[in-house]
Amino acid sequence: PPLYKQRYQFVKSLVEKHNPKKVADLGCSECSLLWKLKFCSSIEVLAGVDISEDVMKEKMHTLSPLPCEYLQPSWRSLVITLYQGSVAEKDPNLLGFDMITCIELIEHLEAKELAAFPEVIFGFWAPIMVVISTPNSEFNSLLPGVSLFRHLDHKFEWNKKEFESWALEAADCYGYTVEFTGVGKPPPGAESVGYCTQIGIFVRNYVETAEIVKHKMTTNHVYKTIFKAVY
Ligand code: SAM
């Protein structure tokens, strides 16, 4: 399967393994991953965030319940919400989540946004698990026609060492443990290059008290809700 499908499948398998109830996808774009995740039975709250309202709106109607789902109320509750906003800004709507995914997002962030991001996701939202994927620049030599970056809009592409040191520093600073994996295996003989897409799985290694969450909830809302579906 194409690489983007392998990334979505990777997240879906992780959800099926850990059974999170509240999952958010940052940089959700056309909501393709959210659409796949709405079929995961553990999920009761699903949220998407993107800076671009237009790109989210393109296919967000696919997240609405089908007429048959209205007629035959489901055995579980599910609320899907889409927010327009930047991941460099704290918004209390994403507090208390079990899992937050960032698939091919960080390489689109400006230097200033990237610098603010760890404090927002690991410090403020502090979900139990974070999944971050980004291109592995070492793989680019194996891709036909890629000279500098895989996509014009990428602000950077990191090799394994660069991603791992960024991730380890953030994990260390905010009380997480991180493990590295990826999707898109290199061809035989080029194993040292690593995966085409590198992935960090971060797990929080402390318990957040209800008081702390309650206090964070008083932070001002900055995100704009652009869609809400209640199943
Ligand atoms: N996650 C999607 C997937 O895997 O199919 C696609 C990600 S797309 C390559 C990057 C997305 O990040 C774009 O939709 C873009 O609008 C969004 N984005 C860029 N900067 C952002 C920011 N500061 N806050 C939130 N979203 C941002």
Q: What is the pLDDT along the chain (231 residues), one digit of tens a residue?
A: 899 999 999 999 999 999 999 999 999 999 999 999 999 999 999 999 999 999 999 999 999 998 777 767 666 789 999 999 999 999 999 999 999 999 999 999 999 999 999 999 999 999 999 999 999 999 998 998 887 898 989 999 999 999 999 999 999 999 999 999 999 999 999 999 999 999 999 999 999 999 999 999 999 999 999 999 998
Atom of ligand 1 nearest to the CA of 56: 14
Number of domains composing the chain = 1
| 147-151 LR contacts (CB < 8 Å, sep 24+) | none
Contact between 87 and 117 (Cβ < 8 Å): yes
CATH number of residue 91's parent domain: 3.40.50.150
Q: If DSSP states are collapsed to H, E and C, what string results for 36-63?
A: HHCCCCCCCEEEEEECCHHHHHHHHHHH
Ligand 1: which of 62, 82, 105, 153 to mutate, judged by most atoms within 8 Å of the beta carbon?
105
Query: What was the ipTM of the complex prediction?
Result: 0.99
Its sign, for the CA torsion 142, 145, 151, 157, is positive
Domain ranges, residue 9: 3-230
Locate all alpha helices (DSSP H) within 119-209, ordered by sequence: 160-174
Residues with CB under 6 A from ligand 1: 4, 7, 27-29, 32-33, 49-52, 55, 86-88, 103-105, 108-109, 113
